Amino acid sequence: MIHSMDFSYQIIAETPHYLIVSKNHELPSVPLKNERDSDTLLSQVALRYPEILFKDHEGGVLHRLDNSTRGLVLIARTIDAYNYFKEEQKQGRFKKTYHALSTNDENEKLGYPSIEIDFQKENPIELHSSFRPYGRGRKEVRPVTEDSHIFNKRKSSPNAYTSLITYIGEQGHNKHLFVVTLTKGFRHQVRSHLAWASFPIIGDSLYGGKEHPLLHLIASKIQFYDYNNNQLREYSLFEDGINPFQEPLYKEKK
């Protein structure tokens, strides 16, 4: 149950069929099945838009962000809109873009396939893999490729996923800005793929990132074809060319 009216989200756009919402860091997108009354993005938004609770414990939320990730979420207001957007996701017509700030770490990382990547500024590179659970409690995931051991392949997801990674450039000493685009996503995909490429995200202790209280990962843009008229829609948290990690929120405390 929510005990505070200090909401951790912002409404970016509102239509009769869906909402575009930006959630803050450390807010779960939806509750666990056995914790439906917990404080989440869904429960907070539902106080103002109760119609989004039409479907089980996840309501109209079309895609979940990790608790630690800030950014844009699409929420359907009707079951028809929900079904439409789910099908769009299956067809690869729903595009999500992330901004991430990473440090370069060439140390050997356990559980990853061999890879050599030379990022060039503004030159997108595709990382393609399926994923397998990894580590204590299966809290992490590791990429699985065609060259992976058969044992790892047997444990991997049935589908493969692609991250289109664009290196924007260095933003101070060993701080590197990336833009990552997905059409179909897997749990921790961006975090695992960047760590695989030797650029773990700042604040991502799970994947070897530099210590910081906030995960430097933002779901910054979504693109899809509108439920009402099939026109291409794009919603962004900030303009192209902006480094969002220059906000005071991310400044290191001395």
pLDDT tens figures, 194-243: 999 999 999 999 999 999 999 999 999 999 999 989 999 999 999 988 99
Question: What's the chain's Rg over C-alpha atoms?
Answer: 18
Length of the chain in residues, anyone? 254
Q: Please, where in the chain does CATH 3.30.2350.10 lie? A: 9-91, 98-207
pLDDT for 240: 86
pTM of the model: 0.93
Q: Which helix (H) or strand (E) holds 99?
A: strand 95-102
pLDDT for 6: 62
**Confidence grade of residue 77 (pLDDT, cut at 50, 70, 90):** very high
pLDDT for 4: 40
Residue carrying the six token digits 């074809």: 225
- Of the candidates 66, 27, 69, 24, the residue with the CA atom closest to the CA atom of residue 215: 69
* Fold classified for 98-207: Pseudouridine synthase (3.30.2350)
Choose which CATH entry (3.30.2350.10, 3.40.47.10, 2.60.40.1260, 3.40.50.620) describes domain 9-91: 3.30.2350.10
- Taking only the tens place, the pLDDT of each residue in 86-113 is 999 999 999 999 999 999 998 888 999 9
